[in-house]
Amino acid sequence: MSWMRGITCQVRHWRAERARWKADMAEFKAAQKEARRRGEWPENPGPPPTGFTLLPWLLMGMGSFSNLLQGKTSNPWIGGLGLFAFNSLYIYVVFRSFVKEKRQAVSTVVALIVMGLITCGLALGYGGSWLYFFPLLGLATGAVVRGPRLGQVGLALTALAAAVSVYRSGWDAINIAYGTFLSTMVTAAILSLSEAVRELRSAREELARRAVEKERMRFSRDLHDLLGHTLSVIVVKSEAARRLAPRDMEAALGQITDIEAVGRQALTEIREAVTGYREGSLATELDRARSALSAADIDPVVRQSGPLLTPQNEALLGWVVREAVTNVVRHSGATRCEITFDGVMDRVRLTIADDGPGDSLRDGNSPATGPAEGIGGTGLKGLTERLAVAGGSLRAGPSPRGGFTVTAELPVESADLTPSVVTTAGSTAGSTAPREP
């Protein structure tokens, strides 16, 4: 029969809840013991409350059960049936009250109303110890009704308990109304506070997890940008030194000296990146870009005019120069690279364009699609995320006139303009490698 299957499923659910509650309690006690052993205050508020925490209050109905056994109750079958129905509904309601979706369900509200009708019937019919079902009803009501309607429902239930108690047993039973009000409000307050504490603790753990994830992402981006650019420069200059050594030892030694300087600077930057205090300089990155491009036989052309930048924006644009020039050196096969920095009163634009053939589908673009925002390999994706956080954007893709173009835009606060600077350096030696995907 369907009702038998329903009862069996409910019993299985209660057994599973009890097993989970016992496991949570065992874990909580072990955590407390470990914290006391270390001399610390345990932060874990314990396992989440379940319906088992409210079951002991059913002992308040032992007086009514005793009257049934002793034959002091008229119509004992009606009283026994009412006692069984109330206890069953109480267990059903309190177990559903600890799951938000279930306690707000219509079936839970209907069960609570039926409990109220049974309580009124038993209290009016028998009085005495049967009046203590009102505080039990208050416990169930406080567990289910939490929020702005709690005050109205609690006062209405208290008034009902007072009216029935006075009618059945006189003013001596007015304490039933006080017990009903207290059990309703205290239960709702304790359970709401416990739920809020657990939500706050969960939010704190989530914020801590996101902070760790954000820091890990920052470090991975910094490490990629630092090592990708530095190692590319070292490889290019090493190849240049190898080619120059047979015919021009002095020029080869100059390249080796540059390699040493780049390596020392990279060590310093990596140490600073680990501590999170490194701030890039756009002028420094432009100087490095000229050196790297020249070593790769690529003519660097730098045009700079625009508003003065904050240190944060300088650092971001410095990363763009570093990543884009690294890609030009490694992938483009270009003979010329133009770096243009300009802007208006509220926005600056940095463009790095090369004239190399490269790959027709490099960085996920084709000549037909043109530049796309937020594409490329790990470096370009990381830069896209950084610029987006600062309110900027990054576009990278094949240029309509050939070559590859990276364009970064950032909002600025300063409106002071710097004079235009044009720098062109010749090439000395070069080599290329496949472009980063």
The DSSP-derived string for 61-106 is GHHHHHHHHHT-SSSHHHHHHHHHHHHHHHHHHHHHTTSHHHHTSH
Q: How far is CA 145 from CA 5, 118, 139, 345, in A?
A: 29, 19, 10, 58
Please, where are the H alpha helices in 170-301? 175-244, 249-275, 282-295
Tokens of 158: 């208290």
According to the model, what pLDDT value does residue 159 have?
93
**pLDDT at position 114, please?**
94
Q: In Å, what is the CA distance from 179 to each residue of 65, 137, 158, 190, 359?
A: 20, 11, 9, 16, 81
| Tens-digit pLDDT string for the chain (437 aa) | 565 666 676 667 667 766 776 776 677 677 777 767 777 665 555 556 777 788 888 888 888 888 787 877 788 888 889 889 999 999 999 988 888 888 889 999 999 999 999 999 988 888 888 888 999 999 999 999 887 888 899 999 999 999 998 888 888 778 899 999 999 999 999 888 888 888 888 888 888 888 878 877 777 777 776 677 777 788 888 888 888 888 888 888 888 888 888 888 777 777 666 655 555 567 878 888 888 888 888 888 988 877 777 777 888 888 888 888 888 888 788 889 999 988 766 788 889 999 888 553 344 444 333 444 434 556 777 788 888 888 888 888 888 878 889 999 888 754 343 333 333 333 333 333 333 33
pTM for this model (two decimals)? 0.48
Helical axes 76-96 vs 2-38, angle rounded to 10°: 50
Q: Please report the pLDDT score of residue 435 as a whole number.
A: 37
381 by Cβ neighbours in 10 Å (0-12 / 13-18 / 19+) ranks as middle
pLDDT of residue 419: 36
pLDDT of amino acid 244 = 85
